[in-house]
Chain A
Amino acid sequence: MKKQRRRMSLSRRRSVTGFVFITPWLIGFLWFYGKGAIQAVLFSLSTMTMKQSGGYQLDFAGLDNFKYVFLQHATFNQTLVSSLMNMLIDVPLIIFFSLFMALILNSKFKGRAVIRAILFLPIIMSSGAIRDSIAMAQQTIMGGVAAVSSEAAASESGVNVQYLMNMLMNLGFPATLSEYLIAAVGRIFDIVQASGIQIIIFLAALQSVPGNLYEVAQIEGATPYETFWKVTFPMVSPHIVTNVVYTIVDKFMNSDIIDVAYDMAFSSYNWSVSVAMSLISSFAVCIILFVITKAISKFVFYYN
């Protein structure tokens, strides 16, 4: 009896300690996200008019904004569906590619540090200030004759896709699979650009696998293939979840749907519709994340 009470108090103490650890996050969440999200929901449920003095006025409008987004806006539904589809198509490619690259980079070879540094570059190049300034510079210069010539060059140097398709079909590949693979080859540039973060996460995961597990596997006489599936893969599996989550969110943040909402706010000056759009698309992404992480987590190995 006495023993049980003590254990209760210990687990109670553990839970209090845990709460202390997350307190800063909780305060920040309630303060910035909680409050902000309530305000955002309020915005989306009302029409907002800017006042001359610099403030704004809200008039309650019910679900009008949502009705407008779904029923009247010209491109929202289509863009949402196509953005989500693109996202789902790219995720497995990026995950496989980055795991593969991380495995290669984790093995020993000459010039490893250089290659790692090179694979790190897209992370800087494809985010924030550098990407924006380059994109802006190229926007002003592209167009007119330059655009035509570069387009012509691109079409000429491209791979003969039709020929490859026919070849794969003759080999007995299912048509959808070969289309998917060829589309993937065509987007290899985007995939490499979008995999920088995932490669580094996998690399860190691979390096935190305790070395003695490999020793045991070797002593037991496991082949490299078995070692991969019995040791490496389970140990890395939690980070597959991380990378899936990151990839989905990253694709979502760079998708057209965000631009549609952004234009609504800053070109059409219709803030409340824009917020409604963001809420709808975020909700859709949350559902996708929930379903996918639930599905994957069956195969994930955790110590506890």
Chain B
Amino acid sequence: MKATIKERLGQIDREHLRRRLGRGVTGFLLGLLKAVILIGISYIILGPLISMLSSSFFTPADLKNPVVVLFPIEGTLGNYTQVIHTMQYPKTLLSTVIYVSALTFIQVIMCSMAGYGFARFNFPFKKLLFACVVLTIVLPADTLMLPWYMEFRDFDVLGILHLIRGSGVNLLTSPIPIYIMTTLCCGLRSGLFVYIFNQFFRGLPKEIEEAALMDGAGAFRTYFGIMLVNAMPAVLTVSIFSLVWQYNDTFYAQLFGVPTNLLMSRRIATVQETIGNSLNILDTAVTQLYLYAAVILMLVPVVIMYCVMQRRFVEGVERSGLVG
């Protein structure tokens, strides 16, 4: 009897060991597969960028030298100093950062409010209105370019200005139209952000908000104090998208004629031409080196911002993990 128990125990032990060993092997293989996939995909993304980065250090001689592949022989930082000078990099970056962060802040607040309204309340025509949100996502902005342009060339609110001054105000060549449109959830991809917030708020359990309402908090206090905190992943996601798209936007900036020296996205569109003309370089392959330097300089702030926000991402989530 004793022997059989011992035997049985030994058997269980061996089985356990074998299973653990098996798990170790599969775990290792899975990890390997994961690494291969991640490295492959990173390569797909980084490939063009690496060649751009190395080109941005080339001198014209390096460019023409067939021996040079990735690492320049002469190498120079001249492209960067020239681009920083031409784009007035620090100044432009500062004004861009202020402009973009203001727009992002407005966009997150306004779109999250609209998304919350659609997600958690019932009111007449809700489905129809939400279909309108989808319509604003789908309708190409090109189609509405002309009406918007006309609207802001002769800007007026319900005919009040026409009554007082006899004519509207021309708001073009300033960023004011963009601020107005963003505040009213019609800015760059605002419809999409309303949609994203709507989906996130619908995914939050109802109990959170009911508890707050029971305690006598008003709708707006519940919203800012509780719902927005719980939707932190959504807030961060939308902030990141909004920041990147506003930073990179040319459509609205061109349509309303925002001054070139204010925005990075406007600067980068002209930098190649400007340097080519001012330094008298006719070869576009050479002026392209400057453009690559400019692209790298434009990328760096966004990537740093993303890395900082991404760390918050995890923290925010761990905090919101307490509820639910």
Contact of A238 among B116, B140, B181, B203 (CB under 8 A): B203
Chain A residues closer than 8 Å to B244, beta-carbon distance? 123-124, 127
A130 touching B114, Cβ below 8 Å: no
Contact of A137 among B120, B147, B284 (CB under 8 A): B284
A207 touching B184, Cβ below 8 Å: no
B241 touching A197, Cβ below 8 Å: yes
Segment of B4-12, B74-82, B163-171, B190-198 in the binding face: B190-198
Given A29-B132, A120-B303, A212-B324; A15-B124 close (CB under 8 Å):
yes
A264 to chain B, nearest CB (A): 10
B320 touching A208, Cβ below 8 Å: yes
Residue B280 interfacial (CB < 8 Å): no
> How far apart sit A120 and B323, CA to CA, in the bound complex (Å)?
29
Residue B268 interfacial (CB < 8 Å): yes
Given A35-B147, A235-B203; A17-B185 close (CB under 8 Å):
no
B interface SS class:
helix
Residue B200 interfacial (CB < 8 Å): yes
> How far apart sit A66 and B311, CA to CA, in the bound complex (Å)?
52
A119 to chain B, nearest CB (A): 7
> How far apart sit A263 and B31, CA to CA, in the bound complex (Å)?
49
Per-residue CB contact flags for chain B residues 219-260 toward chain A (1 = under 8 Å, else 0) read 100010000000101101100110011011111000000000
Chain A residues closer than 8 Å to B219, beta-carbon distance? 17, 20-21
B49 to chain A, nearest CB (A): 7
> How far apart sit A77 and B236, CA to CA, in the bound complex (Å)?
41
B233 touching A15, Cβ below 8 Å: no
Segment of B33-41, B86-94, B97-105 in the binding face: B33-41
Chain B residues closer than 8 Å to A188, beta-carbon distance? 44
> How far apart sit A224 and B145, CA to CA, in the bound complex (Å)?
51
Per-residue CB contact flags for chain A residues 242-261 toward chain B (1 = under 8 Å, else 0) read 10011001001100001001
Residue A109 interfacial (CB < 8 Å): yes
Residue A62 interfacial (CB < 8 Å): no
B299 touching A124, Cβ below 8 Å: yes
> How far apart sit A265 and B117, CA to CA, in the bound complex (Å)?
38
Interface magnitude class on chain B: 35 or more
Residue A192 interfacial (CB < 8 Å): yes
Q: List CB contacts (< 8 Å) of B145-186 with chain A.
A: 146-148, 151, 181, 183-186
Residue B129 interfacial (CB < 8 Å): yes
> How far apart sit A35 and B148, CA to CA, in the bound complex (Å)?
9
Given A25-B185, A29-B136, A282-B143; A200-B324 close (CB under 8 Å):
no
Contact of B49 among A33, A43, A121, A241 (CB under 8 A): A121
B147 touching A28, Cβ below 8 Å: no
Contact surface of B with A, Cβ cutoff 8 Å: 31, 34, 37-38, 41-42, 44-46, 48-49, 110-111, 113-114, 116-118, 120-124, 126, 129, 132-140, 142-144, 146-148, 151, 181, 183-186, 190, 192, 194-196, 199-200, 202-206, 219, 223, 231, 233-234, 236-237, 240-241, 244-245, 247-251, 264-266, 268-269, 271-272, 284-285, 287-288, 291, 294-295, 298-299, 302-303, 306-307, 310-311, 313-314, 317, 320-321, 323-324
Contact surface of A with B, Cβ cutoff 8 Å: 11, 14-22, 24-29, 31-33, 35-37, 39-40, 43, 101, 104, 109, 113, 115-125, 127-130, 132-134, 136-137, 140-141, 188-189, 192-193, 197, 200-201, 204-205, 207-208, 210-212, 235, 238-239, 241-242, 245-246, 249, 252-253, 258, 261-262, 265, 271, 274-275, 278-279, 281-282, 285-286, 289, 302-304
